[in-house]
Amino acid sequence: ADTSFYPGDQHITMPKCPKCTKEVYFAERVTSLGKDWHRPCLKCEKCNKTLSAGSHAEHDGKPYCNSPCYSALFGPKGFGRGGAESHTFTK
């Protein structure tokens, strides 16, 4: 019996998550940076914060939160401009 979801095509390849390299199924997929990720795998490379598709920065194909990580790592350098010392944490 044909148990595939698409009769006649038994070689469906699922996209692989760029973080964990496991298959990404439709229900758990989030697309960002032109790739399909598991929702929990789309995290900032520096601080590990979970990110939302389209609301984060990218450097060399890797996701980063906009602030403070991307700003501190890749933003303009100088006193009070993008360094960790210029970020104010609020409650």
Percentage of residues in the chain having pLDDT higher than 70: 73
List of domains in the chain:
26-86 (2.10.110.10)
Give me the amino acid identity at 85. E
Indicate yes or no: pTM above 0.75. Answer: no
C-alpha dist (Å) from residue 22 to 36, 42, 78, 82: 11, 13, 41, 35
Q: What is the pLDDT of residues 1-16, one digit of tens each?
A: 444 455 555 567 899 9
The pLDDT tens digits for 47-65 are 999 999 989 999 999 999 9
Buried b / exposed e over 67-83, threshold 16 CB at 10 Å, is: ebbbbbeebeeeeeebb
* Average model confidence (pLDDT) across the chain: 82
